[in-house]
Amino acid sequence: MGTILQMVASSTGGSENALASIDVPQNGNLIGVEWSGRTAIDTTADHQTWQLSFGSTLSTANDSRQVLSNATMGTHTHLTAVGDTVGQVNKFTVIPDVPVGMGERLYLHSSAAAAVVGTVFCLLHFDFDLDKVQVRRR
């Protein structure tokens, strides 16, 4: 059946490392990553990128093998000094069954224009089953 674990983070602009982290609870495979995020954007060049990674710091390098998934949002509209809009992303990425080991740590990072404030929910889809609570207690 599989297991879904949620990571949640908020950021206030710039490059922020390890905003959230989880330890993988069991050996198995990461099979998908689902993103849902909102960012307050108030100038034309504002943007935000969220990154799920095995590494404890954000990577923007070519051939980086720690990165699992990225989700980016920004504005392409012309905003005045008093303009404001909300950037939004909803995305599901199928991962080619990346093996993960119990205790291995996954990190959530952010890179954004200065003073951009955003919140993201990142759902990690695994192929293993954790002990489930009884249906009536969910």
Mean pLDDT by 10 residues, the chain (138 residues): 92 89 96 90 76 94 91 66 65 90 96 84 93 57
CA separation for the pair 74, 82 (Å, rounded): 17
Domains, the chain, with CATH or none: 3-132 (2.60.120)
Which H or E run contains 82?
none
Predicted pLDDT of residue 41? 72
pLDDT value, residue 5: 95
Q: What pLDDT shows up at residue 115?
A: 77
Full-model pTM: 0.84
Q: What is the rounded distance in angstroms from the CA atom of residue 30 to the CA atom of residue 130?
A: 14
pLDDT of residue 113: 80
| Gap between the Cα atoms of 93 and 72, Å rounded | 13
Give the pLDDT confidence of 86-106 residue by residue, as tens digits.
667 788 989 888 999 999 999
